[in-house]
Amino acid sequence: MTVLVTGARGFLGGAVVRALLERGYAVRTFQRGRSELDGVDERRGSVADRGAVDAAMDGVDAVVHLAAKVSFHGRPSEFDDVNITGSANVVSAARAAGVERFVFVSTPSVAHAGDSLVGVGAGRADPDRARGDYARTKAVAELAALAADSAAMPIVAVRPHIVWGPGDTQLVARVVDRAKAGRLPLLGHGAALIDTTYVDNAADAIVAALRRVPDVHGEAFVVSNGEPRPVGDLLADICTAAGAPAPTLRVPAALARAAGGVVERVWRVRPGTDEPPMTRFLAEQLSTAHWFDQRRTREALAWRPRVSLDQGIERLAAYYAR
């Protein structure tokens, strides 16, 4: 079976490609730049370019769609072009090419309205209540993808929750950099329980979904390690593994949310070169509980995480030691 992986240049995309290759799949990648991955048939282009998508889709049997604009800031039109139009292009091209299986990689934020999520299931994506343009556009795209589900091309949505691991330039690198600069606060008491997903577990779950999609299509599944931990403890573990000081500065959650709103308004007028230091969405994520009931996911996908949270931290420490 030949699998097309979009967004293979990303942290999770690369892990998915490696997991597929280890299991004997033939892999074609599609992304804007070089993936730097061995053993793949690489194609380059944007998912917003329907012609490039059609060319990449020719001759593949299955699709894992990861390509997305993931950011806390940016023009709404940029998110629309990649996350909505681009996803629609991939789904439509896959159907026209006779693709037999489709996995849409989404995010739990499509069903997060800012309140605590405690032991809940996947929930329906809701663009109207989603927080920020990334979550909004991913919600629209997920709903459209699942609406295209059929017996001829079964589709599932997989929502990995806060993916991290060695080599992560998003969550881990930013946590470590800000901790070293003394700019990593704890919001409130740092006691909100959150669950995360070690990168190898997320990749395994996506491959499992590809295998199981004919039997469980039309559904969305949240994927996590299933090990909720206080956010303050998790940040401290990551910092310790990387040789950075654990956060000690505490900021009231309400103040952080208000400050995030101000930063967002300033960023729209004078955007910085990196992600904004705080947004309302980020403040909510760091100060509210969000962990999920994994029973349906594990049963439907016949999958369980093979790397525990503590084992992941040990691997992270070994990575930074090298």
Structure tokens at 295: 């029973």
Q: How far is CA 179 from the centre of its chain?
A: 23
Local structure of 185: helix, strand or coil: coil
The full length of the chain comes to 322
Contact assessment for residue 121 and residue 185, using Cβ atoms and an 8 Å cutoff: no
| Domain region containing 116 | 2-164+196-225+291-306
d(CA 292, CA 119): 4
Q: Is residue 144 part of a domain?
A: yes
Please tell me whether residue 129 adopts helix, strand or coil conformation.
coil
- Residue 112 domain-assigned? yes
For residue 24, tell me if it sits in a domain: yes
Beta bridge partners of 194: 229, 290
- Is residue 33 included in any domain, yes or no? yes
Token pair 């929750």 is found at 161
Do the beta carbons of residue 264 and residue 279 sit within 8 Å? yes
Cα–Cα nearest to 105, from 77, 80, 68: 68
User: Under a CB-based contact definition with an 8 Å cutoff, are residues 250 and 232 in contact?
Assistant: no
Q: Is the dihedral of CA 307, 311, 314, 316 positive or negative?
A: positive
**Per 3-state DSSP, what percentage of the chain is helix, strand, and coil (rounded to 5)?**
45, 15, 40
Q: pLDDT by residue for the chain (322 residues), tens digit each?
A: 999 999 999 999 999 999 999 999 999 999 988 878 889 999 999 999 999 999 999 999 999 999 998 876 678 889 999 999 999 999 999 999 999 999 999 999 898 766 777 777 788 888 898 888 889 999 999 999 999 999 999 999 999 998 999 998 888 888 888 888 887 776 667 788 889 999 999 999 999 999 999 999 999 999 999 999 998 898 889 999 999 888 776 665 555 455 555 445 555 555 655 555 545 556 566 667 778 999 999 999 999 999 999 999 999 999 999 8
Q: Which residues are catalytic?
A: 134
261 in a structural domain: no
> Tell me, what CATH number does 125's domain have?
3.40.50.720
- 218 within a domain of the structure (yes/no): yes
- 107 alpha carbon, distance to own chain's centre: 5
- What is the bridge-based pairing of β-strands 250-251 and 101-105? unpaired
Domains of the chain: total: 1
Q: Return the beta strands (E) in 55-135 as ranges.
A: 62-65, 101-105, 117-120
- 211 found inside a domain: yes
Helix (H, G, I), strand (E, B) or coil at 193: strand
- Burial bucket for residue 216 (CB in 10 Å: 0-12, 13-18, 19+): middle
Residue type, 80: D
In a domain, 256, yes or no: no
Whether the full predicted model's pTM is greater than 0.85, yes or no, is yes
Comparing CA positions, the residue from 6, 10, 285, 15 lying closest to residue 162 is: 285
Q: Which residues pair with 291 in a beta bridge?
A: 118
β-pair partners for 320: none
